[in-house]
Amino acid sequence: MPAYEPPVSEVLSVLREVLVPEAEGLDLPTLEAVLAEGGRFATRVLAPLNASGDAEGCRLEQGAVRTPAGFPEAYRQFVAAGWPALSQPERWGGQAMPRLAQLALDEMIAATNFSFGLFPGLTRGAAEAIARHAAPELQERYLPQLVSGAWAGAMALTEAQAGTDLGLLATRAEPRRDGSLSVTGSKIFITAGDHDLAENIVHLVLARLPDAPPGVRGISLVLVPKFLPDDQGRPGRRNAMAAGALERKMGIHASPTCVMHYDGAEGWLVGAPHRGLAAMFTMMNAERLFVGIQGLGIAEAAGQAAADYARTRLQGRPPGVAAGPPQPILAHPDVRRMLLTIRGFTTAGRALALWLAMQLDRAEEDAEAEGMVALLTPVVKAAFTDWGFEAAVLGQQVLGGHGYVRENGLEQMVRDARIAQLYEGTNGVQAMDLVTRKLAAEGGALPHRFFALVRAALQAAPEPALTEALNRLEAATRHLQRKGAEPAEPGAAAAEYLRLFALVSLGWMWLRLRAAAGPSGLPHHRRWRQAADFFFARLLPQSAGLAAAIAAGPATLMVPAEDVF
């Protein structure tokens, strides 16, 4: 496996030169130092455990989950270095760094050890839900431990019969006399539901109270710890919950995906009764951005590994050269096409994600920023994970047959990247969220506010290919916002519309990157310019086919009878 180079200088260049107005007031020198340290942690501690973790996997022994060799020690170092607390509030022991620092760290972790990143990622999600919705005494008891990483978190949503359709879930939560709840039921697909990294694991479980109305309006959120804290707040009595099985999966083998059984487990309500989904969804934007970043991290890692291979693998000769010794395959146009397709996502995708992370930091006091977060989050989650997977597949293709062999690492990236398109709401669910809720938000004005940003950038730096794609996106948006459309219209357009939206969003960032570079001869400016030219000439024209598919409407999807499929 070639060495991974953390993209720290790229992050800083984007903040210093491209996202200039948005990044005003950020302490960039501190950020740079922190990310450099994070990059060292990722490459020195996490990367060496990636292939071995995949090969060994997790196992369930006498009811307890064991992670692969080296993972407990790596997590101990991760906690000792303070990484779990990076972007958490100071009140609970956090370092209150901006979310973009978290994002850049998460990218490097996903690039070097995708599975490892899920443990702190879920812990952060649980902490955020508790910080926003739990009673003060629960916050005092749990947040310092979760923020430090001494305790870990898990989210228990899915049941066998209730995946995307959470209204079907059946786990029960019965009140006890002391005000706590007794939780009974079985959950599946619980990432990090049990493991040996932390001394306690705090589950947030979706369950129904006895008087719950049916459907999604009758779901409550319940905090259920693996060990009940004693009077000193230390892990005490074992709760009535256990991992019943581990899924055997395509990838992320070092991340245990548990079947969890709760058998009258003791828990406490978080947020209002029957309002559990709303409580869960307030942290969903951050979680979905996190998953999108996993796609970005894998794409960057795959691109670097494939480019390294292409620079050193000698096969054939450049176009127009008939004889002579073999040359690096980077000379071949099709190899360049594959590598630039990856780059066409990563550099602008990172800039877009940094921009979105800044919006997320502002969202609580700034409704405009909040709207942008709501709009772009499904786009980033779905498109970044699709492109992340596609980048891993392209990177693997650059290696030819060598990409199919385990020891070269690319095939693990493909297997690991695949999950990000499926969990945290499948990418189809993201697309539906975009074309229904998000297009209707602010009376339909929300997407047009975003398009105005792209238009403004185009006025400052014209690019006909982007103007054309934006025109297509705006037309598709108006089409989907029309009243009286068929009920199947949004769903029929959803996947292609999200991809079109994502392409325009990337184009917006490539425009800003190229404009910031200007005619400068600095290497990173030249790189931005050359990659942007490729994006506009070769990738953005996909918008034509997407627009045509959207315009075709739902008929050819909805007319076919069941036996056509």
User: Considering beta carbons, is residue 266 or 411 the nearer one to a second copy?
Assistant: 411
542 touches a second copy (CB under 8 A): yes
Q: Smallest distance, Å, CB 54 to a second copy?
A: 11
Is residue 50 a contact partner of residue 112, using CB atoms and an 8 Å limit?
yes
Q: Smallest distance, Å, CB 402 to a second copy?
A: 8
Is residue 50 a contact partner of residue 408, using CB atoms and an 8 Å limit?
no
Q: Smallest distance, Å, CB 527 to a second copy?
A: 5
**Rounded to the nearest 5°, which phi and psi values hold at 236?**
-115, -120
- Say how far apart CA 307 and CA 504 lie, in whole Å: 26
Q: Smallest distance, Å, CB 437 to a second copy?
A: 15
Nearest residue to 183 via CA among 196, 193, 174: 174
Give, as one character, the DSSP assignment of residue 390: H
Q: Site size for a second copy, by CB under 8 A? A: 99
Q: Indicate the pairing of strand 200-207 with strand 181-191.
A: unpaired
- Cβ-in-10-Å burial (0-12, 13-18, 19+) of 321 comes to exposed
User: Considering beta carbons, is residue 64 or 314 the nearer one to a second copy?
Assistant: 314
198 touches a second copy (CB under 8 A): no
Please name the residue ranges forming H helices in 251-366. 276-282, 284-312, 333-362
User: Considering beta carbons, is residue 150 or 515 the nearer one to a second copy?
Assistant: 515
505-524: contacts with a second copy (CB under 8 A): 523
302-361: contacts with a second copy (CB under 8 A): 303, 307, 310-311, 314-316, 318-321, 326, 330, 332-340, 343
Nearest residue to 349 via CA among 401, 297, 398, 394: 297
Residue with tokens 């400052």: 460
Residues 67-106: x/- map of binding to a second copy (CB under 8 A)? ----------------------------------------
Element (H, E) at 8: helix 8-13
Residue type at 529 in one-letter notation: R
Q: Smallest distance, Å, CB 107 to a second copy?
A: 19
- Say how far apart CA 393 and CA 258 lie, in whole Å: 28
402-461: contacts with a second copy (CB under 8 A): 402-407, 411, 414-415, 418-419, 421-423, 426-428, 431-432
Q: Smallest distance, Å, CB 88 to a second copy?
A: 28
245-274: contacts with a second copy (CB under 8 A): 247-251
560 touches a second copy (CB under 8 A): yes
Point out the catalytic residue in the list 287, 411, 424, 496: 424
User: Considering beta carbons, is residue 460 or 561 the nearer one to a second copy?
Assistant: 561
Tokens representing 46? Answer: 């996490």
564 touches a second copy (CB under 8 A): yes
Q: Smallest distance, Å, CB 258 to a second copy?
A: 13
User: Considering beta carbons, is residue 138 or 429 the nearer one to a second copy?
Assistant: 429
7 touches a second copy (CB under 8 A): no
Residues 33-72: x/- map of binding to a second copy (CB under 8 A)? ----------------------------------------
Give, as one character, the DSSP assignment of residue 366: -
61 is known as an active-site residue:
no
Element (H, E) at 238: strand 235-238
372-391: contacts with a second copy (CB under 8 A): 389
Is residue 83 a contact partner of residue 105, using CB atoms and an 8 Å limit?
yes
538 touches a second copy (CB under 8 A): yes
Is residue 432 a contact partner of residue 496, using CB atoms and an 8 Å limit?
no
User: Considering beta carbons, is residue 445 or 548 the nearer one to a second copy?
Assistant: 548
Residues 487-506: x/- map of binding to a second copy (CB under 8 A)? xx-xxx-xx-----------
Is residue 123 a contact partner of residue 146, using CB atoms and an 8 Å limit?
yes
Residue 496 half-sphere exposure toward CB, CA atoms < 13 A? 23
**Max CA separation in the chain (angstroms):** 86
Active site residues: 424
